[in-house]
């Protein structure tokens, strides 16, 4: 009898718990949607792979069912997903007032508790200014010749190989350049391979958060531990040997750490280095790989892009001189091409914020403490804003001034957290494309298919054969590939 009573009570408790999970308390009207299974929520569906470059099925199906604002639960957290441009804009506008930057615990485990995305207010602004010291326009002007030399050297090397896997090759190129600027790291003269840790790290970054040996997430955390250990050792080496003038970002950070009354701690400095190394090469290499794939698929876009860059060469007094900042700023079509590439790339599947207090919006209530996931792909592929949104058409950006984010374009984030590395990314992409289309032609060999889980991946890579163009020395007439 007692067993029956205990059993009945258990069933009632579990039923009550499940009911409360599926029907969260709210003072007003929650957006429609499902909270999925207790604890697990709809996490498995969110991480389900998709081979389309359209909006991820997880979001697309729920938008059809519930509209552009819906509720769900991911990795144990209650989340409002927003594919609504007005709500997205409101969330970014109210950063620090009604919302603050927030990422799931799994992200903070990976990026570090003191990472720049988890910091707020004065501390965040302070770090942003630190980074702008390295990636701001004045620094980029000085960096331009080095970016060009790096791109030209790598392309030359790749053209002597039978085939090159573009995602891996561009990631290596960008990582080496960024690591040199940040920490004077030189892969050829180092006993340890720093980038290997980031490769392990990336594979588990957007994966199911199961920390047991063999899982992508476990490898990811191992990659972080190893990468952080190398950065910590480097910091100790610098402290032990002061006065060596390297003038890299690490030296600048060390100076800040040694200032009296500094608000910068060693943990924050190391997390910042880690995030900068990761963010700079992974996202840009994905965008560049996709850019070359788009050029391979569309000869008319390739022709137009090549013409712009060959005009730059023709207008030079000295044909052998390097790119100038003025030439870089004149690449009108190239910037349209980059905008269109990142619009369709949708490398960032979601941008997270947390509601600091209860918020009313369009008849719905967002409870305090709930997360809001702004969904850039749903904005970038909205047919009401972009005609034939799946089509690659750089000319749609003609006459559109894009210096920041807008309600309908958030490839580099939005609001006060607009990505500080945006200009650096554009410089690297534009310079690489300049060197590529003026000196080389190529043909795809294999791969190039896309997988979203929900982040962008090239599961089979994108292999191309790169060939130097035959150039008529008297003029800049080239064979287009």
Annotated binding residues for heme, written as ranges, equal 419
- Of 440, 479, 475, 477, the closest CA to residue 152 belongs to 440
Q: Is 234 left (phi over 0), alpha (psi -120 to 50) or beta?
A: alpha
Task: Yes or no: say if 277 and 118 are a contact pair by the CB < 8 Å rule.
Answer: no
Q: How far, in Å, CA of 181 to CA of 167, rounded?
A: 21
- Length of the chain (residues): 481
- Cα dihedral value 137, 141, 147, 152, nearest 10: 140
As a whole number of angstroms, the distance between CA 41 and CA 373 comes to 15
Element (H, E) at 69: strand 69-74
CB 167 within 8 A of CB 293: no
Cα–Cα dist 460/293, whole Å: 13
Helix (H) or strand (E) holding 458: none
How many CB atoms are closer than 10 A to CB 344? 22
Q: Which residues are annotated as a binding site?
A: 419
Decide if 182 contacts 195 (C-beta within 8 A): no
Beta-ladder partners of 70:
81
CA atoms within 13 A on the CB side of 177: 31
């Amino acid at each position: 009898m007692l067993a029956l009573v205990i059993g009945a009570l258990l069933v009632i408790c579990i039923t009550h718990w499940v009911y409360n999970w599926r029907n969260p308390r709210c003072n007003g009207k929650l957006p429609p949607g499902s909270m999925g299974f207790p604890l697990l929520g709809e996490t498995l569906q969110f991480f389900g792979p998709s081979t389309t470059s359209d909006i991820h099925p997880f979001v697309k199906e729920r938008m059809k069912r519930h509209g552009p604002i819906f509720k769900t639960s991911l990795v144990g957290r209650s989340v409002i997903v927003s594919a609504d441009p007005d709500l997205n804009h409101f969330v970014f506008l109210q950063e620090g007032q009604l919302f603050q930057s927030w990422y799931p615990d799994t992200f903070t485990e990976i990026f570090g508790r003191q990472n720049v995305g988890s910091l707020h207010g004065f501390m965040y602004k302070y770090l942003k200014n630190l980074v702008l010291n390295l990636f701001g326009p004045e620094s980029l002007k000085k960096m331009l010749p080095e970016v060009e030399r790096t791109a030209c050297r790598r392309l030359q090397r790749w053209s002597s190989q039978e085939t090159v896997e573009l995602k891996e090759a561009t990631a290596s190129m960008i990582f080496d350049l960024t690591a040199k600027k940040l920490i004077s790291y030189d892969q050829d003269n180092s006993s340890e391979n720093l980038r290997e840790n980031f490769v392990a790290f990336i594979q588990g970054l957007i994966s199911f958060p199961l920390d047991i040996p063999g899982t992508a997430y476990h490898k990811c955390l191992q990659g972080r531990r190893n990468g952080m250990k190398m950065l910590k050792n480097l910091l100790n080496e610098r402290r032990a040997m002061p006065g060596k003038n390297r003038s890299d970002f690490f030296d600048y950070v060390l100076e800040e750490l040694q200032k009296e009354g500094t608000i910068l701690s060693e943990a924050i400095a190391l997390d910042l280095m880690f995030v900068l190394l990761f963010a700079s090469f992974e996202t840009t290499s994905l965008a560049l790989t996709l850019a070359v794939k788009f050029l391979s698929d569309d000869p008319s876009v390739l022709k137009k892009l090549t013409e712009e860059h060959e005009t730059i060469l023709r207008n030079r007094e000295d044909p052998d001189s390097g790119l100038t900042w003025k030439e870089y700023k004149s690449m009108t079509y190239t910037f349209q091409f980059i905008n269109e590439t990142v619009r369709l790339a949708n490398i960032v599947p979601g941008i997270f914020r947390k509601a600091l207090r209860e918020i009313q919006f369009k008849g719905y209530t967002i409870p305090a403490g709930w997360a809001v996931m702004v969904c850039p792909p749903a904005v970038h592929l909205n047919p009401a804003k972009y005609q034939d949104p799946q089509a690659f058409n750089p000319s749609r950006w003609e006459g559109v001034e894009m210096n920041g984010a807008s309600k309908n374009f958030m490839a580099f984030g939005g609001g006060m957290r607009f990505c500080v590395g945006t200009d650096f990314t554009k410089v690297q992409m534009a310079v690489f494309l300049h060197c590529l289309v003026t000196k080389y032609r190529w043909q795809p060999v294999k791969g190039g298919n896309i997988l979203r889980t929900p982040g962008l991946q090239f599961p089979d890579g994108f292999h191309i054969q790169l060939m130097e163009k035959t150039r008529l020395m008297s003029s800049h007439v080239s064979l287009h590939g």
